[in-house]
Amino acid sequence: MRYVSTRGSAPILGFEDVTLAGLAADGGLYLPEIWPTLTRDEIAGLAGLSYVETAVAIMAPFVGDALSRTELKLLCEAAYGRFSHAAVTPLTQLDHRHWLLELFHGPTLAFKDVALQLLGLLFERFLSSRDTHLTVIGATSGDTGSAAIDALAGRAKVDIFMLHPQGRVSDVQRRQMTTVLAPNVHNIAIDGSFDDAQALVKAMFADRAFAGRFSLSAVNSINWARLMAQIVYYFYAAVRLGAPDRPVAFSVPTGNFGDVFAGYVAARMGLPVAKLIVATNVNDILHRALSVGDYSVGTVTATAAPSMDIQVSSNFERLLFDLHGREGARLAASMQGFESERKLALTADMLSEAGGIFASARVDADEMALAMRWACQNANEVIDPHSAIGLAAARAAALPADVPVVTLATAHPAKFVEAVERATGKRPGLPARAAGLFEREERYARLPAEIGAIEAYIAERATPTA
Ligand SMILES: *Cc1c(COP(=O)(O)O)cnc(C)c1O
């Protein structure tokens, strides 16, 4: 499989290079040159497969000859063997038409494990035959940092430096990062906000000399391999609910548009998807874009679903690429306009094309709490604030009565215990795999939000390129 940039002028890469690369050289994001498709019979044939077997079947065309099928299967077995449920991503029925797809059975209790556990293994595999050492840097407001650290801890030829804002991530989230004591894991609490942390990471990538010397790399959701791993559970769930004979709808709590874009890819590959519901909280740029064509940046409001407190959704560019007829030069011009004006208007044609598959909803704090209570009272399920936003949007969606609606449950409720208790009166406990978190030793550095101090700290600990 060959990968092209959404902005049309970066080199075409294979799967291995695309996995190790971040942003394309022209500022765009990499995508497969064509969408591979499955026939109806091939989709029906997924019915008897395990999660790992489904993953291999769905991902093999994207991986191409970068890995043999046997190697791909071994990596999937290692990645998904660390999940605590035998079905990896089990479905739970809520009522006659609503289901939850539980994506939080991985080591750090959020859906990001599904992609990052595999990505960590792909990094190690591809680096083993190269003469390079990678330095992964990132900024986190919680979930991404812990999932990336768990995935990369102890892996050869990679160091990870994760910046979090001091005092502004939950105790569970901080401890999930800082109690990982592997020598290649480096946590840095900065005196500043999440935006400051993100700006520091950006500045380090922009410092060409520094970025080159330490082979800086990222594991954020613009990475193609992450999206690829997320396509799998759409097939896995839909087939269990009757696909390809019966179309299924999905409601996806959305931040960076990565998870729901994976659902879009599943549909492009032939999965009969009745609708993809893009559920946002009050940070609603995606809802405005998909309902009235207004993709314009507002200010970020902090909510009880912090992983969705995002204004610019980086992966939306991948959908815009298709909506621009896959013409990189045209999209590059639009994105330049967006970067200077902070807004972009979708044309009526683009809106109607997107509307064929996407619906959207904006869910406020009251509607979120109501959805949490509904799940508790009607199905005896305690759900987290992100999943509740998805469920509220799913229940409000106008869909034919015979279409099953699957809400993606993206985090374990114990990760957001205060918000869950406020809405439901229940205080979910940490599952066994996370027990002991509060007894473990923590290790992290505390640094000022200054690029000089952070770069000096990293330079002392990372491995420079020869
Ligand atoms: C990251 C995250 C999301 C948003 O996913 P995107 O791929 O950024 O749209 C939703 N819920 C939780 C719990 C997350 O960690």
Pocket flag, ligand 1, residue 143 (CB < 6 Å):
yes
User: Which atom of ligand 1 is nearest to 260's Cα?
Assistant: 9
Q: What is the three-class DSSP state of 93? A: strand
Rounded distance between C-alpha atoms, residue 147 and residue 116, angstroms? 6
Rounded distance between C-alpha atoms, residue 319 and residue 321, angstroms? 5
Gap from CA of 150 to ligand 1 centroid (Å) = 17
Q: How do residues 187-206 score in pLDDT, each as one tens digit?
A: 999 998 887 898 899 899 88
Pocket flag, ligand 1, residue 226 (CB < 6 Å):
no
Residue 187's H or E segment, with its range, is strand 185-191
Q: Is the pLDDT reported for residue 25 higher than 90?
A: no
Pocket flag, ligand 1, residue 263 (CB < 6 Å):
no
User: Which atom of ligand 1 is nearest to 256's Cα?
Assistant: 8
Eight-state DSSP code of residue 314? T
Pocket flag, ligand 1, residue 259 (CB < 6 Å):
yes
Pocket flag, ligand 1, residue 415 (CB < 6 Å):
no
Residue 391 amino acid letter: L
How deeply is 177 buried, as exposed, middle or buried, from its count of CB atoms within 10 A (0-12, 13-18, 19+)? buried
Q: What integer pLDDT is reported at residue 348 of this predicted model? A: 97
Instruction: Give percent of the chain with pLDDT exceeding 90.
Output: 86
Q: Would you give the distance in Å from CA 287 to the centre of its chain?
A: 18
Q: Say if residues 410 and 111 touch (Cβ distance below 8 Å).
A: yes
Q: What is the three-class DSSP state of 100? A: strand
The stretch 263-288 carries a mean pLDDT of: 97
Residues β-bridged to residue 134: 158
Domain boundaries, given as residue ranges, for the chain: 91-109+224-424
Q: Which two tokens stand for residue 265?
A: 């890819």
Gap from CA of 386 to ligand 1 centroid (Å) = 8
Eight-state DSSP code of residue 441? -
Confidence of residue 39 (pLDDT cuts 50, 70, 90): very high
Q: What integer pLDDT is reported at residue 380 of this predicted model? A: 96
Pocket flag, ligand 1, residue 291 (CB < 6 Å):
no
The stretch 266-279 carries a mean pLDDT of: 98
Gap from CA of 318 to ligand 1 centroid (Å) = 17
The protein residue with its alpha carbon nearest to ligand 1, atom 8, reads 256
Pocket flag, ligand 1, residue 142 (CB < 6 Å):
no
Confidence of residue 54 (pLDDT cuts 50, 70, 90): very high
Pocket flag, ligand 1, residue 367 (CB < 6 Å):
no
Q: How far is CA 302 from CA 123, 141, 164, 306, 393, in A?
A: 33, 11, 16, 7, 20
Q: How far is CA 453 from CA 131, 146, 204, 457, in A?
A: 28, 23, 12, 6
Cis previous bond, 244, omega within 30: yes
**CATH architecture group of domain 91-109+224-424:** 3-Layer(aba) Sandwich (3.40)
The stretch 401-429 carries a mean pLDDT of: 95
Q: What integer pLDDT is reported at residue 147 of this predicted model? A: 95
Residue 230's H or E segment, with its range, is helix 224-240
- Return the CA Rg of the chain: 21
Out of 73, 112, 343, 415, pick the active-site residue: 112
Confidence of residue 48 (pLDDT cuts 50, 70, 90): very high
Q: What integer pLDDT is reported at residue 321 of this predicted model? A: 98
Q: Ligand 1 pocket test: pick from 89, 102, 109, 143 the residue with the most ligand atoms within 8 Å of its Cβ.
A: 143
pTM of the complete model: 0.96
Pairing between β-strand 30-32 and β-strand 216-217 as defined by DSSP bridges: unpaired
Rounded distance between C-alpha atoms, residue 386 and residue 109, angstroms? 13
Q: How do residues 100-134 score in pLDDT, each as one tens digit?
A: 999 999 999 999 999 999 999 999 999 998 888 99
Q: How far apart are the first and last CA of the chain?
A: 31
Strand order, beta sheet including 185-191: 216-217, 134-139, 158-165, 185-191, 445-448
Q: What is the three-class DSSP state of 252? A: strand
The per-residue pLDDT of the chain, averaged, comes to 95
Gap from CA of 247 to ligand 1 centroid (Å) = 24
Gap from CA of 425 to ligand 1 centroid (Å) = 25
Gap from CA of 61 to ligand 1 centroid (Å) = 26
Q: What integer pLDDT is reported at residue 234 of this predicted model? A: 98
Gap from CA of 305 to ligand 1 centroid (Å) = 9
Q: What integer pLDDT is reported at residue 302 of this predicted model? A: 87
Rounded distance between C-alpha atoms, residue 431 and residue 384, angstroms? 14
Rounded distance between C-alpha atoms, residue 79 and residue 119, angstroms? 9
Q: What integer pLDDT is reported at residue 342 of this predicted model? A: 93
Q: How do residues 280-293 score in pLDDT, each as one tens digit?
A: 999 999 999 999 99
Residues near 85 by Cβ (< 8 Å), separated by ≥ 6? Answer: 102, 105
Q: Which two tokens stand for residue 235?
A: 């097939």
User: Which atom of ligand 1 is nearest to 112's Cα?
Assistant: 15
Q: What integer pLDDT is reported at residue 371 of this predicted model? A: 98
Q: What integer pLDDT is reported at residue 220 of this predicted model? A: 80
Pick 355 or 167 by higher pLDDT: 355
Pocket flag, ligand 1, residue 108 (CB < 6 Å):
no
Pocket flag, ligand 1, residue 150 (CB < 6 Å):
no
Confidence of residue 315 (pLDDT cuts 50, 70, 90): very high
Q: What integer pLDDT is reported at residue 312 of this predicted model? A: 82
Gap from CA of 379 to ligand 1 centroid (Å) = 24
The stretch 239-262 carries a mean pLDDT of: 97
Catalytic site residue 112?
yes
Q: Is the pLDDT reported for residue 313 higher than 90?
A: no
Q: Ligand 1 pocket test: pick from 259, 311, 317 the residue with the most ligand atoms within 8 Å of its Cβ.
A: 259
User: Which atom of ligand 1 is nearest to 253's Cα?
Assistant: 10
Q: Is the pLDDT reported for residue 359 higher than 90?
A: yes
Q: What integer pLDDT is reported at residue 6 of this predicted model? A: 97
Pocket flag, ligand 1, residue 38 (CB < 6 Å):
no
